[in-house]
Amino acid sequence: MLTRTISIAFSLLSVLAPAANAQGGKWLSLPPFPEPHEEVIGQAANGKMYVFAGLVSAPIWLPVGMVYEYDPATNQWTKKKPMALPAHHLALTEYGGKIYVFGGFTEGKVGNLAAWTPVNNAFEYDPMKDTWKPLAPMPTKRGAAVAGTVNGKIYVIGGATTAPGATNPAIHPTIAQRVLSTPARAARRRGGAAEVARAPEAALRLLWPATVVLAAALVVYRSG
């Protein structure tokens, strides 16, 4: 929840930076978010801020799939069309004024317990038209990845998915799962266990206190 809150704060900062500079670098008070939920994530596009996802807290763990737009010109939130596939722990990035959404977790079950099911779905959200367009799925089902745009390409890095050989498509804190890393991270892991402890994946080990298997995972999506 903390990482998603931080991501929204930085995205809002990128939208509001000109206004903040005009105020001498002071913090600005904004209208409260209309629909409070944990595990939301934000992305700036076309001078506006978009907040996606949401999750009903444990033990229910039900994805909300909401989308809200914040317009700094009017200082107002507007509810938009919901996500094409409600999920949480998404990977988002902006390219050409559109927002690209990758992976995440949908609802699932492990025994009688609610759990998270990693998916490989990819979507293009057009903020101007408020429409969703499905894209080619990723090679690996994953949630909690990160995405970024570099030189006209979109990179999806890392994430968490089911452990090798698992028969249940969902993951839960009581079972092992697989944390995906970049090739460089996987290479350093072969150098010793101490490197793994210093890796960002350690944060997921705290979130999911179970045995973790690391594997290289880097996906590039080329728009058009």
Q: What are the pLDDT digits (tens) for 78-90?
A: 999 999 999 999 9
Q: Which two tokens stand for residue 4?
A: 């998603």
Cα–Cα distance measured from residue 98 to residue 107, given in angstroms and rounded to the nearest whole number: 26
pTM of the shown model: 0.74
pLDDT exceeds cutoff 60 at 36:
yes
Residue 158 structural domain: 2-222
pLDDT, position 15:
52
Q: How far is CA 39 from the centre of its chain?
A: 9
HEC profile for 58-71? CCCCEEEEEEEEEE
Rounded CA gap, 60 and 113, in Å? Answer: 9
pLDDT for 23 = 52
CATH of the domain at 195: 2.120.10.80
d(CA 219, CA 147): 9
For the chain, what is the domain count? 1
